[in-house]
Structure 1
Amino acid sequence: MNVRRILAGIAALAGCAAAGAVQGEAFPARMVRIVVPFTAGGLADVVARGVAQELTTRWSQPVIVENRPGANTIIAAEHVARAAPDGYTLLMANDPTLSSNQYLYRKLSYDPVKDFVPVINLVQTREILLASRKSGLASVEELVARAKARPGETTYGSYGVGSKAQLDAETFSSLAGIRMNHVPYKGVADVMAALVGGQIDVAWVGVPPSIPMVEGDKVRLLAVAAPQRIAAFPGAPTFAELGFPKMVSQAWFGLVAPRGTPDGVVSRIAADVSAVVSQPAFLDKYVTGVGLEPWNQGPREFGRFLARDRAEYEASIRNAKVKLD
């Protein structure tokens, strides 16, 4: 008999045995890990730790957060993709992990579609356009007029080539018929510092890190990339109000499990996490209180959202002509 067939048969039997063991025990029967592809202290990490703390109490089992940052979330995603499909290893994914990386990299060490099953999409943040006060720009109209009058002179910052901030800027440039100069930085904090210091003119940034900067009058908020005005900045116009209805953008964080995780386990995790993130105290501390918006999409809804998100990213990346390898 072919050796490969024998090995494949052994692997299949092992997989069935593992699945049977999982289905035969009440989940969870031991420690659960939530792998976060970012360093400790960031938004995804804080939300994950809030969820982990509540689940530890609810499940009477330890739920821990493990940080595996780097490579545009690829390191963490690859690790979880290869974990046992039993619900005991989860990934706090975001849009690069499951939507944009597959179009930014020619060769990816994991498959965003085939290697994971959606569990629950937790939160989102809308992207907003900020201007440096030193730029003298007070409106989107002024930005467009200046960029048209002096093509390539207006600068925008992003937290890296291929980042959402760059894709948003290039999408808007295409819609407005303008050309701006891209200045990449290492992270959002560096972009904010550059805006305050006047090294760049504008930048697309998420709501949470923008709140203290806008409220402190250190930067100027020009518009929000949302279908309607948002609670964090109710006085700020949407791009649709300014004549750009297609300029809509959000970033999100959600939990996924390795493909093959039993449906019953996925449903249990989704239901319990949904109950956790629906609590007013949790929302106030970890979501709305820091400028995020609750999403709470279950497995099916999350899956449908991912299909739309991937299509939008594919078009955006093709338009921006960005590749990371």
Structure 2
Amino acid sequence: MANFKRRLLCAGLAAGLLGVGPALAQGAGDYPNKPVKIIVPFTAGGLADTLARGIAQELSRDWGQQVIVENKPGANTIIAAQATATAPADGYTLMMANDPTVSSNQYLYSRLPYDPVKDFVPVVNVAETLEVLLVGPGFKGKTLQDLIAEAKANPGRVSYGTYGPGSKAHIDAEAFAQATGVKLLHVPYKGVADVIPALLSGQVQMAFTGVPPARQLVKSGQLRAIAIAAPKRSAALPDVPTFAEVGMPNFHSSAWFGLIAPAGTPKPVIDKVATSVARLIEKPDFSERYIVGVGLEPLNLGPDRFAEFLQKDRAMYAKYIKALGVKLD
């Protein structure tokens, strides 16, 4: 019996050294064998939520296992990030993260309940959206200069909606205010799905959002797009000028959406998720419905390239936020 136990122990050690222990064997083989959850840090109906639900639906079909979406909005993605960071590192909890989660929050807050670098592993960066400056139907001006003039004539009275303090929309609006010398009023909401109705009803006068949620409303004339914060015009909104075309050549902004997992998640699991999602991004019907067709730009960066992307993204935000002087605590 003692010899049998020694042989069993040696076999276990050998499997661990070869990287084929129980967790890795599962990751390489029968993952997933139970439902997988994608946590979304925003309200239902927004851009990140729609993209996550599209991925969940397709992965459920491909894997033969249910993939569900759970919305945990609030606190500039901190609530969702903490829930993800403390989840078991087994591949059954993923998060549809974006810029604040692992890039900008660490510079906006003195303390976080999670470590943006150490607590997560990048899986696949799916897509990005160009940012567009919108005004509601109550704004009578037509150009960027009209908006700036209105804000200068009424300091602190022109309001802008965002999906939370420290969000991309908040940072963009503060950068815009600093660059143009105006004072604006910040009105935070839980998600972009709340910002759009606020614009339409006149609760706020302006907002920065991604192109997809604004696209149809701009085309129908319900909202006006003043400018695209990109080096070139968007194919989704070809009639909207860039900031460079209307006098602000250095004003660029985009936001990304990618899947991350708790640190320690087995690499075979990470690779399987990344490969499966990469196939989806490359499928014309999926891309048309959830990415290119709605105004997003595909990224499709796997774990290693996503990690390199994050290094540059964090460095950019460190410099950007310091220059703006934005702090949330």
TM-score interval, normalised by the smaller of the two chains? 0.7 to 0.9
1:248-288 CA deviation, whole Å, 9 max, x = no partner?
11122111111122333322221111001211111122223
1:86-135 CA deviation, whole Å, 9 max, x = no partner?
32321111112111221222221111111111110112221101123433
Counterpart secondary structure, 2:80: helix
1:55-98 CA deviation, whole Å, 9 max, x = no partner?
22322333332333333222221122122323232111111211
Query: Is the contact between residue 215 and residue 295 of structure 2 (CA under 8 Å) also seen in structure 1?
Result: yes
Shift of 1:237: 1.1
Shift of 1:194: 4.1
Shift of 1:293: 2.4
**Distance change >3 Å, CA 92–CA 155, structure 1 → 2:** closer
Shift of 1:147: 4.2
Matches within 5 A, 1:232-311: 232-311=236-315
Alpha-carbon distance in 1 for matches of 2:245, 2:311: 27
Q: Which residue of 2 aligns with 1:180?
A: 183
Alpha-carbon distance in 1 for matches of 2:203, 2:65: 49
Q: Which residue of 2 aligns with 1:3?
A: none
Counterpart secondary structure, 1:241: helix
**Distance change >3 Å, CA 236–CA 80, structure 1 → 2:** same
Identity %: 52
1:27-52 CA deviation, whole Å, 9 max, x = no partner?
41412322222333333222222222
* TM-score, length-scaled by structure 1: 0.85
Q: Which residue of 2 aligns with 1:30?
A: 33
Matches within 5 A, 1:14-29: 20-25=21-26, 26-29=29-32
**Distance change >3 Å, CA 85–CA 180, structure 1 → 2:** same
Range that drifts further, 109-118 or 254-263: 254-263
Alpha-carbon distance in 1 for matches of 2:204, 2:42: 26
Counterpart secondary structure, 2:224: strand
Shift of 1:146: 4.5
1:197-231 CA deviation, whole Å, 9 max, x = no partner?
44544221221221232122122211001121111
* TM-score, length-scaled by structure 2: 0.84
Q: Which residue of 2 aligns with 1:9?
A: none
Matched to 1:70, the amino acid is G
**Distance change >3 Å, CA 241–CA 300, structure 1 → 2:** farther
Alpha-carbon distance in 1 for matches of 2:269, 2:314: 26
Counterpart secondary structure, 2:141: coil
Which sections of structure 2, spanning at least 5 residues, go unmatched? 1-12
**Distance change >3 Å, CA 150–CA 70, structure 1 → 2:** closer
Q: Which residue of 2 aligns with 1:213?
A: 217
Q: Which residue of 2 aligns with 1:10?
A: none
Verify: 1:312 aligned to 2:311, yes or no.
no
Verify: 1:67 aligned to 2:71, yes or no.
yes
Matched to 1:314, the amino acid is A
Verify: 1:324 aligned to 2:328, yes or no.
yes
48, 56, 59: which is aligned to 1:52?
Answer: 56
Which sections of structure 1, spanning at least 5 residues, go unmatched? 1-12
1:123-158 CA deviation, whole Å, 9 max, x = no partner?
222110112343322112333345456654544333
Matched to 1:311, the amino acid is A
Count the aligned residue pairs.
310
CA RMSD of aligned residues (A): 2.6
Shift of 1:193: 3.7
Matched to 1:30, the amino acid is N
Q: Which residue of 2 aligns with 1:4?
A: none
Alpha-carbon distance in 2 for matches of 1:40, 1:196: 19
Verify: 1:168 aligned to 2:172, yes or no.
yes
Counterpart secondary structure, 2:96: strand
**Distance change >3 Å, CA 171–CA 295, structure 1 → 2:** same
Verify: 1:116 aligned to 2:120, yes or no.
yes
Matched to 1:181, the amino acid is L
Alpha-carbon distance in 2 for matches of 1:174, 1:69: 28
